[in-house]
Amino acid sequence: MMTLVLVASVLIGVSLGTLGGGGSILTVPILVYLAGQDTKEAIATSLFVVGVTSMVGLIPHARAGRVRRRTGLTFGAVGMVGAYGGGRLAEYIPATVLLVAFALMTLATAAAMLRKSRKAKAAEPAHTELPVKHVVVEGLVVGAVTGLVGSGGGFLVVPALALLGGLPVSVAVGTSLLVIAMQSFSGLAGHLSGVTIDWNVALMVTGAAVIGSLIGSRFAGRIPQDTLRKAFGWFVVVMGVFVLGRQLPHAVWADPLTWTGIGLAAATAVTWGAVRARRPRPATDAPQVGSRESAAHP
């Protein structure tokens, strides 16, 4: 079984190396359902694994100039406060509630990954550093979520840096690794007050994840990000549904109201997607008539 755990752990690093997030979404289920750890130990261990793996994955991004240090350090420092608080709070929350919250965060992350944002395509990097007021708000929220359920860091940080800060996606990915590492270790400190970690398992999983991050960093520029993000997004959907299904009682799934709600949510999502697809897109790439005429008649 440990061999299967280590093989699966390589995917943790691959995800972090190519997408700048997703490590904790894989780590917690691997530790709970494959390694047999209890929920709180798995969340704490995942913070250690993701923190170390993010630090290793940060190195090639920093060498390539894809890290905004001031934004990353400020975001990470604020996030550490929220992460430590979330880690301490987790001690008083039942394990089942934490896993349900983790599953819901996983599904929300998958929805964000699969959503085709026009803003992301139209955005141009307006400045190189994220405004401080955005850093404080986003850092506290993301840090608290990361510390509480051990998930949600990377795929919340990257959009914040790319959309709010106007950073190129590659730079947002690199900078997010710095933020994730800082938040993960702070969240781990909060959890250690009430959780004991099996360090043998933690170090083995971390080693496999580090190998995966090195592999992922090599393929990051060769695989189309949209294709990779969508494929991983659907995988995250399956994992989130699996975790949620294991935690919710059978009576919930047998209730007709549950399936009615699921059906309405699915119909709403499909309808909304169809409406968005029919909306006319601004012709940002169309050449201007005046510019063509002036070029023809200088």
Per-residue pLDDT of 90-103, as tens digits, reads 888 888 888 888 77
**Residue 166 Rama label (left phi>0; alpha psi -120 to 50; beta):** left
pLDDT tens-digit map of 57-81: 888 888 888 888 888 888 888 888 8
Question: CB count, 10 Å around CB of 97?
Answer: 13
Mean pLDDT of the chain: 74
**What is the SS3 assignment for 237-249?**
HHHHHHHHHHHCC
Whole-number pLDDT of residue 139: 76
Whole-number pLDDT of residue 290: 44
Whole-number pLDDT of residue 284: 42
Mean pLDDT, range 207-227, rounded to an integer: 76
Whole-number pLDDT of residue 272: 60
Confidence at 258, pLDDT banded by 50, 70, 90: low
Confidence at 20, pLDDT banded by 50, 70, 90: low
pLDDT beyond 90 at 263? no
Cα distance between residue 273 and residue 267, in whole Å: 10
Mean pLDDT, range 20-49, rounded to an integer: 84
pLDDT tens-digit map of 287-296: 444 444 444 4
Compute CA distances 228 → 97, 160, 222, 231, whole Å: 31, 20, 10, 5
Whole-number pLDDT of residue 198: 93
Cα distance between residue 188 and residue 83, in whole Å: 8
Would you give the end-to-end CA distance of the chain in angstroms? 73
Which residue has tokens 């702070």?
Answer: 186
pLDDT tens-digit map of 109-146: 777 667 754 444 444 444 445 566 766 777 788 788 87
Query: Could you tell me the pTM of the whole model?
Result: 0.69
Whole-number pLDDT of residue 117: 45
Question: Nearest 5°: phi and psi at 287?
Answer: -70, 145
| Cα dihedral 45/161/234/105 (nearest 10) | 50
Contacts of 20 (CB under 8 A, 6+ apart): 154, 157, 158, 172, 173, 174, 176, 177, 180
Whole-number pLDDT of residue 123: 42
Whole-number pLDDT of residue 91: 81
pLDDT tens-digit map of 178-211: 888 888 898 898 888 888 899 999 999 999 988 8
pLDDT beyond 60 at 157? yes
Cα distance between residue 187 and residue 200, in whole Å: 20
pLDDT beyond 70 at 238? yes
Is the CB of residue 156 less than 8 Å from the CB of residue 145?
yes
Cα distance between residue 88 and residue 68, in whole Å: 30
- Residue 107, class by beta-carbon neighbours within 10 Å (0-12 exposed, 13-18 middle, 19+ buried)? middle
Share of the chain above pLDDT 70, in %: 64
Beta-carbon-side half-sphere exposure of residue 211 (alpha carbons within 13 Å):
10
**Cα-to-chain-centroid distance, residue 225:** 14
| 3-state secondary structure at position 6 | helix
Confidence at 87, pLDDT banded by 50, 70, 90: confident
